[in-house]
Every structure is written in structure tokens, then in C-alpha cells.
Amino acid sequence: MKTANELSFIHRFQPGSEPGRPPILLLHGTGGNEDDLLPLGGMIAPGAALLSPCGKVLEGGMPRFFRRLSEGVFDEDDVRRRAHELADFVAEAREAYDLPAPVALGFSNGANIAAAVLQLRPEALAGAALLRAMTPLRDPPSADLAGKPVLIVSGAMDPIVPADDPNRLAHLLEAAGAIVTHRVLPTGHGLSQTDVDLARAWIGQLASDPAAER
């Protein structure tokens, strides 16, 4: 078994203080790092264990979880490789820290890699909250997401995410069996207090309904 220092991503881990809360996998946006979403995780899932890796891809010196060819145009071969890489890290971290499958909480690029992990390695996650996500793969493989809860929160005035794209992602995940909640807020790409409130309520429901974590 690998020790925490031997895991394949630079990361932070904060043990949980409330048994029964699912651990949260925090996935930052472009330019973030392993510390970036820890405060957000504490607000949205108080008492949960927090696992926060740093993306390995650099774009102009800014960490990301996969390459893009231009804004909104993804290197899908790299998306697939990096999604498997992240799923392998989750498996390592679960063994090192004795964790059940986590729920991903991703913002922007982090939300996109979380969606790719759901589609390529569904066993790695118990569910996902995807904040300002885009569809990461144009032709994803068939995945069994039966019963997995997914929250998608989009911004109606988001200049980065095409208006119809989150709907397409929601439909793809629903077709694979996920239980998808999609909310559209009157905001842009940045996060608002409403995002925090929605995600906190959604994750709180998972903690009170263990069957939702399948």
C-alpha cells in the first residue's frame, strides 16, 4: 500500500469529523491548486473528509487537469488519459486514507474532468457536483451510472460555457442512469453564494440518504 507521500498527485487531505458524510474530491479550475477549494469544501460539506489534488497539466504556468487546444476546445485524447490517471489516484487515496468512494466537487476545468471520470471510470466516484461544467467528450463510451447522483449548476450568462452544452451533458449522464439535478443561475462563470447553498443542500441530502451514494 502506498503512503500519503507516495500518491501520484500533489494533494491535500483533511480527515472528516462527522461519520456518515461522504468524502469530497475537490477539483479546482484553471489556475487553482491543491489548496484552492478547501475553504469551499468546508462550506459545502462541513465535517466531511476532503481530498484535493492539484492538476498536472500546465497552461501558461497555470495548473489544469487536462490539455485544451483553445478555450472550449478540448484535447480529448488527453482528457481520456488524464481521467484514468485521476481515477487511479482516487483508488490510491482511498486505500491510503481508508475512504469510501468520494463525491466529486469540481469547478470549471475540475468539473469537466469529474464528468469525464464519471463517463470513463464510473466506479471511482459516488457522485459529482459539477459547477460550470462542459461536455468533456463528444462521443463518450457507454457507462453504467445507475443511481449515481449528479448536480450540474450552470450560469445563464456564462461567457465560457455554450448555453446548450450543460443540457447535453445532463442528458448524456441521465442516459447512462445517473440521477441528475440541473440548475441554471442568473450569473456568469464565477461562483455565487447560491452555488454554495445549492451544493451544500444537495450534498447534505446524500449524507442523510446513504442509498443515494451508490
Active site (annotated) includes residue 158: yes
11 is catalytic: no
Q: Please tell me the distance from the alpha carbon of residue 196 to that of residue 107, in angstroms, as a whole number.
A: 12
Which residue of the set 28, 52, 158, 182 is catalytic?
A: 158
Catalytic one of 84, 88, 189, 192: 189
Assess contact for 173 and 203: CB atoms under 8 A: no
Catalytic choice (11, 28, 52, 108): 108
Does 171 participate in catalysis according to the annotation? Answer: no
Q: Tell me the catalytic residues.
A: 108, 158, 189
